[in-house]
């Protein structure tokens, strides 16, 4: 067995074509959803295999290279950026219908958000997107799926892929002009409507505020992972990024609209 990066040490393992990960109360819902999107033609996600009595889930391994370093010439390329936007659009199309067709109790890690249009991935970032030959082909880590409008998912994806990071944020490898250009490219590839583009700047800020509140809430509840994240200054980084997005203001809106 091979330990995989990206999770807590010793908790995510690859064994041939399968991956074993910790399960949660939401895992049965996740597995039904994974079966739904595969049946809808989305083959870029893990195939659900089992939930064990030991409290672990087993899913198929998604082939491809995963990297969160947008300074990497492959991960940060315009080709990868465009294909990531297209991948998110295909995922959203496959997601539709699950909430209406699934008849079993649904449990989510993250709180649903109205209007409950589709099931969003919740963390469509470079570190969860697998690429092959410089093109985004797969999506991993579905623990954070939850019902929400598609724009909610698009907002976080644009934030992560532009990325709309404030100066000094580690991973902020592009200047403002490049950020604005990349945000537009992602929206174009996704096929965002004019109305979605007008609403995106405010939705990005709202999405990050909700993330900060979630992190702080989990930390206050004693979740050691989030205690460490908050103490390391991650919440403060998101707050700085909110300020950055709001300072961009009309420039960001115009970049989306063209």
pLDDT in tens, 118-131: 999 999 999 999 99
Report the C-alpha gap between 246 and 193 in whole angstroms.
Answer: 21
Chain centre to alpha carbon of residue 147: 14
Which token pair is 130? 């697998």
DSSP, res 171: T
Which token pair is 147? 């019902």
The ranges assigned to domains in the chain are: 2-60
Reported pTM? 0.94
**With a cut of 50, which residues of the chain have pLDDT below it?**
8-10
Report the C-alpha gap between 163 and 245 in whole angstroms.
Answer: 10
pLDDT recorded at residue 162: 97
pLDDT recorded at residue 5: 60
The DSSP bridge pattern shows strands 18-22 and 13-15 to be antiparallel
pLDDT recorded at residue 10: 47
- For every residue of 30-66, DSSP letters joined together read HHHHHHHHHHTT--SSPPEEEE-TTSEEEEE---SB-
């Amino acid at each position: 067995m091979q330990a995989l990066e990206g999770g807590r040490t010793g908790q995510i393992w690859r064994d041939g074509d399968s991956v074993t990960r910790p399960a949660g109360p939401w895992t049965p819902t996740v597995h039904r959803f994974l079966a739904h999107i595969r049946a809808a033609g989305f083959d870029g996600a893990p195939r659900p295999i089992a939930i064990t009595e030991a409290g672990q889930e087993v899913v198929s391994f998604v082939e491809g290279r995963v990297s969160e370093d947008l300074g990497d010439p492959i991960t940060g390329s315009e080709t990868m950026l465009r294909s990531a936007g297209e991948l998110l659009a295909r995922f959203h199309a496959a997601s539709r219908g699950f909430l209406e067709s699934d008849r079993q109790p649904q449990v989510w890690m993250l709180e649903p958000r109205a209007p409950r249009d589709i099931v969003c991935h919740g963390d469509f970032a470079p570190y969860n997107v697998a690429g092959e030959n410089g093109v985004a082909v797969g999506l991993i880590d579905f623990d954070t799926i939850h019902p929400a409008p598609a724009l909610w998912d698009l907002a976080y994806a644009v934030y992560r892929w532009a990325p709309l990071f404030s100066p000094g944020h580690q991973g902020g490898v592009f200047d403002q002009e490049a950020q604005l250009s990349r945000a537009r490219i992602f929206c174009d590839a996704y096929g965002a409507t004019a109305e979605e583009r007008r609403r995106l700047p405010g939705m990005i800020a709202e999405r990050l505020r909700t993330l900060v509140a979630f992190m702080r809430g989990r930390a206050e509840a004693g979740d050691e992972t989030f205690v460490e994240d908050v103490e390391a200054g991650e919440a403060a980084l998101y707050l700085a990024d909110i300020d950055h997005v709001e300072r961009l203001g009309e420039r960001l809106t115009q970049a989306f609209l063209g």
